Structure 1
Amino acid sequence: MVPMLHEMYDGLRVEHGEAAPAWAFIYVEEAHALDEWPISSSRYHPTGEVVAVAQAKTVDDRAEAATHFADLYQLRLPVFLDTLDNEFQTTYGAWPLRFYVFEASTLGYKAMPAECTYSISDLWAAASAACTRTASAR
């Protein structure tokens, strides 16, 4: 998934230049933390190891998990942390994974999963349309 996001990020910058959106990755609470709802899945782990992360008890715990994730997946996007009260997740329904397009601080698109996956082409279309509107407004 991360390589596809990088391709989309790069493609939008090439296609739309300065009108391309700013991107961010918000690290929210663990979906299947070792100490809450563990599953032994390695489905998306680049080394094939089982994902094993405890639920963050402190901001430092969450920062460490986010840094590990970003390093492991070679994430090139800026990473921000949700609060320990999970404000972003609660407000936007981000758990366990979601994609959004915001325009001028307004939610313009929220990807919804279908059959446990997301349409990257729908996300591209929403982001590209937002770029076009941004360029037209200049």
Structure 2
Amino acid sequence: MEKVFIIRAVKNEIFLSTIVGFILGLAVAAILVFAPQFLPKKMNFQLAKTETPKPTIKQSSNQKIFVQITQPTDQSLLTTNQFSVKGKTVPGALVVISGENSDLVVNADDDGNFTGDITVGEGISNIAVTAYDEKNKSSNSEVKVYYTKEKI
């Protein structure tokens, strides 16, 4: 008789644990399905839109557009891949400095001087500088530089 009672008790525990598991699973499924309806709406976060200021051309005289690269000199040997490109053009001109790996737009100051940092890859690189005046006339100049990681 005791054996029968133990078997019945085990069967009752299995049945009860199955029912409890089913009810818990049903409750979790109901929460996943119906909870979004009761939760407040999602907040929308938006970053403030800021515009990048556009370079302006401030040229007061009717000088003929030109551009001269003063640094680096043509055929320079560089031991660092990032360096400054400096030069002279008409005051207030918009200057585009283009390298093998990067481009940069700067404004010439009131004396016509410009400078910008640029990065090049290993080996020979062409650096092109183009200046634009207020009438969108342009002038360009190029230098070749050689960058090596080797210590000289």
Give the alignment's TM-score, normalised by structure 2.
Answer: 0.20
More strand by share: 2
Q: Greater RCO between the two (CA within 8 Å, min separation 6)?
A: 1
Tell which structure's C-alpha radius of gyration is larger.
Answer: 2
